[in-house]
Amino acid sequence: MSDKASRPDPSDAVSKLFGGMLKEGKSLADEVSDNAKAVARSALGNLDVVSRDEFDAQAAVLRRTRARIEQLESEVATLLAKLEELENR
């Protein structure tokens, strides 16, 4: 009977083994997650991006510029029509 008392319980050994694996797995998962975040930050840092506010400001400038171009095109068309009318007299 002393043999049974001195031997560790197999279920305890398995439990310790799997517990250690899970701890290592969690640590590995955390490390992979941290590395993935670092790679993503680095990749985003290399992109040529602007803030939303700057994008909105540039879009507003572009809208005003397009409106002004359309106005000038209309004025040029009117002047060309007047010039053609004067030439035909």
- Residue-wise pLDDT for 71-86, tens only, equals 999 999 999 999 999 9
Give the C-alpha separation, 65 to 75, whole Å. 15
Give the pLDDT of residue 45. 80
Give the C-alpha separation, 78 to 80, whole Å. 5
* Reported confidence tier of residue 87, pLDDT bands at 50, 70, 90: very high
Residues comprising the chain, all counted: 89
The residue ranking higher by pLDDT, 3 or 62, is 62
Domain limits, the chain: 1-48, 50-89
Please tell me whether the overall predicted TM-score, pTM, comes out greater than 0.75 for this model: no
Task: Convert the pLDDT of each residue in 51-66 to its tens digit.
Answer: 899 999 999 999 999 9
